[in-house]
A and B are shown apart, each in its own frame.
Chain A
Amino acid sequence: MSNNKYAVNERGYYGQFGGAYIPELLRANVDELRENYLKIINSEQFQKDYKRLLDNYVGRPTPLTKVENLSKRFGTNIYLKREDLTHTGAHKINNTIGQILIAKYMGKTRIIAETGAGQHGVATATVCALFGLECVVYMGALDIERQAPNVARMKMLGAKVVPAISGNQTLKDATNEAIRDWIANPYSFYLIGSVVGPHPYPDMVTRLQSIISKEIREQLTVETGNPNPNYVIACVGGGSNAAGAFYHYLNEENVKLVAVEASGLGVDSGETAATITIGDVGFIHGSKTMLMQDEDGQITEPYSISAGLDYPGVGPLHAHLAETGRAQFLSVTDQEALDAAKVLAQSEGIIPALESAHALAALEKIKFLKEDVVVVNLSGRGDKDMETYMKHFN
C-alpha cells in the first residue's frame, strides 16, 4: 500500500509540518534512532517478533464489532474497532510492543516514557516488565491524582512513576520532563506514546499503530466484501489511535476520515484542547505542528475531562491532514462525550474510555446514509474512568 501523498519525507515533514526541532543536546539520540528505525521495522526478525507478540500477548487481531443497537439509533451501519479488548485495555500497547523491540535491537536497557491518562505509561511498564528493562514514567502531578488506578498498575508492574510538577502538571509537562531525562541520560531509549515529537517519532509510532487499519480492511472485506468503509472516526489528542486507524485509508480518498478533538467546556470557553480548531502553527516537543498558544508564542494550558486528550499540540500528520482537508476535524465537549459513553454502555454493554467516547459523540454530528459503513475506533476501555463517570452520572 503506498501512502506517498501523506507519507513523511526524508527530513521528517508532512507538508509543512514535522521536522526535528530539538536542541543540539538531543541531536545524537534522535539521529541514532532515525538511522535505525526503518532498518529494524523492515527486518524479517522484527516483523516476526512483533507479529508473535501482537497475536499472543496483546490479543490481536481485535474484533470489529457491528453494534446493532447503535446502528439503529443512527440509522446506518456502525462498526467498532475493539482496541479496548487489547491487553492493558487500549491501543497504546501496539506502539509500546513495537518500540520496546526497537529499543532491544538497539541495545538499550533503560526506558523513559511520558503519560497523560496513564494508558501509555501502563503499556510501557508492561512491555518493560516483559523484557526486563528499567522503566521510568513521567506523569503530571495532576494526572497522577485523577488516574490513580493506572498509577497503581504501573507501580505493580515495577515502573518508577515520577511526578511532573511544572506547568499545569499534565501531559505537556510530563513530556518536557521525559525529554530532559533523555538529555541527561543519552543512552536511554525514549518511548514516546503518540505520533508527536521530533522525526522519526511521528512516523515510527504511526507505522506501529497502522496495524489497526490493516485489520479493519481485512475484517471489513470479510464482513461486507469491501475493505473500505464510508467513514473512519477516531479521537485525537496527540493522535496515535487516529493515525493507526487512518493509515491504510489515507490514499483512499473516498473513505471519509473524521478526527475528533476534545473541546472541553467548549471551543471558545478558554477551557479546551481543540488544537486544530483554535490553534495555529508553532513548535512543540520538537515538531512543527498546530499548537494552542497565546499571542506571544507561550504554549497555552489545554483542558479536557479526558486526560488522554488534553495536549496543546497534535501530531504533524494530523496538522497536515487538516491543512489539506484530507481529514475532517470535529470537536466534542466533555458533556457530549459523557453522554455518548452512557449511550454505548447502555445500548451495547461496552464502557468506553473517555477518550474514545469523544469519537462516539461525533456520531451525533454527522448525517449518515442508511447504507453507509461507519467504523469508530474504540481506542480504549473505560475502567480507568469509572470515578469520573460515577461522579457525573450520580
Chain B
Amino acid sequence: MNRIDQLFQNKGKDILSIYFPAGYPNLNDTVPNLQLLQDKGVDLVEIGIPFSDPLADGPVIQLAAKQALDQGMSLKLLFEQLKEARKTITMPLILMGYWNVVFKYGVDSFVADCQSCGIDGVILPDLPLEEYEEEFKVRFEAHGVYNILLVTPQTTEQRMVKIEKAAKGFLYMVSSSATTGGALEQSKEREEYFKKVASLNIPSLIGFGIRDKQSFQHASSFSNGAIIGTAFINALTSGTAPEFLDSLL
C-alpha cells in the first residue's frame, strides 16, 4: 500500500506536512532535514525540486530555491541523495516541482527513479490534469507514484468533481488566492470552501498561509491536516528548525 494512503488510514486528522527545497540551507542537508522532521514527529514531507522560475511560489521559496541551485542542487543530485534515505526514513515522501525540470529529466526516468528512491507521490503544479491523464498517468501509476492534485478557492464545482475523480492520496487544498508565503485569512467564504472540499470523497491537507501552531490547528479543524512551507524555510534559514518544529507539535 502507498505510504500516503497508509498515513491517512492510520491517522485521519492533524496531519502535519512540511515543505522544504532540496539542498537547503546547505547542499547536503536534504537527508539530515528529513531525519530531523521524522524525529520530531512530522507525518509527511514535501521535498521541493529547486527551479529557476517557480511561478506558484512567493519570494521566500524562490530565494531558497535559488540558493540551492547556486550550491549545485539538481534533480539528478536529489535522487542520489535520496538513494539511501529509505534505510531510516519511514514517512511518506513527496517531490514537488515544476514540469519543465521533470520533462527535461525525462518522464520515464523520473517516475522510475521516484519508485527506486521510495517516493510516494509528486506535486507538479503546472502540469495540467488533462495532459497528465492523457499522456502520463499510465506511466506514473506503473511506478506507484501518486500525482497529488491541487484545488483552489477559484476551482469551479464542475472542475472539482473532475479533480475528485482523478485524485490520489489526498487533495492539496490551497487556502487562498495567492502564491506561497502569505497569511491565512479567516472568513466565512473561506470556511465554506474548506467545508466543501472536506466533504469530497478524498482526504485533504490545507496549504498556503499556514505558519504556526494556531493557523495549523485552525486549518486542521476543516481538513485532515495542513502543510507548512515558508515558515519552516525561515526557521531553516535562521537555524531554528528544531525549535520551530517543537512549537508546532
Give me the interface of A with B, judged by CB distance under 8 Å: 11, 19-25, 27-29, 31, 166-167, 172, 176, 179-180, 183-186, 281-286, 291, 293, 295-299
Report yes or no: A21 in contact with B99, Cβ–Cβ below 8 A: yes
Report yes or no: B156 in contact with A28, Cβ–Cβ below 8 A: yes
**Chain A contact residues: helix, strand, loop or mixed:** mixed
B125 CB contact (under 8 Å) in A20, A23, A172, A295? A23
Residues of B within 8 A of A31 (CB): 156
**Bound-state Cα–Cα, A382 to B56, Å:** 36
**Bound-state Cα–Cα, A281 to B99, Å:** 12
A22 CB contact (under 8 Å) in B66, B76, B128, B177? B128
Residues of B within 8 A of A295 (CB): 104
**Bound-state Cα–Cα, A184 to B182, Å:** 10
Report yes or no: A167 in contact with B125, Cβ–Cβ below 8 A: no
Report yes or no: B177 in contact with A297, Cβ–Cβ below 8 A: no
Report yes or no: A28 in contact with B53, Cβ–Cβ below 8 A: no
**Bound-state Cα–Cα, A376 to B154, Å:** 45
Residue of B nearest to A166 (CB): B62
**Bound-state Cα–Cα, A296 to B50, Å:** 10
B55 CB contact (under 8 Å) in A179, A293, A297? A179
Report yes or no: A283 in contact with B154, Cβ–Cβ below 8 A: no
**Bound-state Cα–Cα, A20 to B53, Å:** 16
**Bound-state Cα–Cα, A286 to B174, Å:** 19
Give the Cβ gap from B69 to chain A, nearest Cβ, in Å.
Answer: 6
Residue of B nearest to A280 (CB): B104
Does chain A have a CB within 8 A of B126? yes
The 6 closest A-B pairs by CB, nearest first: A297-B104, A28-B154, A297-B101, A24-B150, A23-B125, A283-B100
Report yes or no: A27 in contact with B154, Cβ–Cβ below 8 A: yes
Report yes or no: A21 in contact with B52, Cβ–Cβ below 8 A: no
Give me the interface of B with A, judged by CB distance under 8 Å: 51-53, 55-56, 58-59, 62, 66, 69, 74-76, 98-105, 125-128, 130-131, 149-152, 154-156, 159, 174, 177-179, 182
Report yes or no: B178 in contact with A299, Cβ–Cβ below 8 A: no
A23 CB contact (under 8 Å) in B51, B55, B104? B55
Give the Cβ gap from B165 to chain A, nearest Cβ, in Å.
Answer: 15
Residues of A within 8 A of B99 (CB): 21, 283
Report yes or no: A184 in contact with B53, Cβ–Cβ below 8 A: no
Residues of B within 8 A of A179 (CB): 55
**Bound-state Cα–Cα, A119 to B142, Å:** 49
Report yes or no: A299 in contact with B100, Cβ–Cβ below 8 A: yes
Report yes or no: A24 in contact with B174, Cβ–Cβ below 8 A: yes
A284 CB contact (under 8 Å) in B69, B100, B159? B100
**Bound-state Cα–Cα, A295 to B174, Å:** 31
Give the Cβ gap from B66 to chain A, nearest Cβ, in Å.
Answer: 8
15 contacts between A and B (CB under 8 A): A20-B128, A23-B55, A23-B150, A24-B149, A24-B155, A25-B56, A27-B155, A180-B55, A184-B178, A283-B126, A284-B53, A284-B100, A296-B74, A297-B101, A297-B104
Residue of A nearest to B102 (CB): A297
**Bound-state Cα–Cα, A11 to B100, Å:** 19
Report yes or no: B53 in contact with A299, Cβ–Cβ below 8 A: yes
Given A23-B125, A24-B151: A296 touches B76 (CB 8 Å cut-off): yes
Residues of B within 8 A of A186 (CB): 154, 177
Residues of B within 8 A of A20 (CB): 128
Report yes or no: B126 in contact with A23, Cβ–Cβ below 8 A: yes
Report yes or no: A282 in contact with B104, Cβ–Cβ below 8 A: yes
Give the Cβ gap from B60 to chain A, nearest Cβ, in Å.
Answer: 12
Residues of A within 8 A of B154 (CB): 25, 27-29, 186
Given A23-B126, A25-B56, A25-B152: A283 touches B51 (CB 8 Å cut-off): no
Give the Cβ gap from A192 to chain B, nearest Cβ, in Å.
Answer: 14
Residues of A within 8 A of B159 (CB): 27
Given A24-B149, A28-B154: A19 touches B74 (CB 8 Å cut-off): no
A184 CB contact (under 8 Å) in B69, B150, B179? B179
**Bound-state Cα–Cα, A298 to B72, Å:** 12
Residues of A within 8 A of B100 (CB): 282-284, 291, 293, 297, 299
Residues of A within 8 A of B52 (CB): 167, 298-299
Residue of B nearest to A185 (CB): B177
Residue of A nearest to B178 (CB): A184
Residue of B nearest to A286 (CB): B126
Residue of A nearest to B159 (CB): A27
Residues of A within 8 A of B56 (CB): 23, 25, 183
Report yes or no: A183 in contact with B179, Cβ–Cβ below 8 A: yes
**Bound-state Cα–Cα, A295 to B56, Å:** 23
**Bound-state Cα–Cα, A58 to B177, Å:** 36
Instruction: With A167-B53, A296-B76 given, name 19 new contacts (CB 8 A).
Output: A21-B128, A22-B126, A23-B55, A23-B56, A23-B150, A24-B151, A24-B155, A25-B152, A25-B177, A27-B155, A179-B55, A183-B178, A184-B179, A282-B104, A283-B126, A293-B104, A296-B74, A296-B105, A297-B75
**Bound-state Cα–Cα, A215 to B134, Å:** 41
**Bound-state Cα–Cα, A342 to B118, Å:** 61
Give the Cβ gap from B82 to chain A, nearest Cβ, in Å.
Answer: 16
Residue of A nearest to B74 (CB): A296
**Bound-state Cα–Cα, A70 to B152, Å:** 57
**Bound-state Cα–Cα, A124 to B73, Å:** 39
**Bound-state Cα–Cα, A293 to B182, Å:** 30
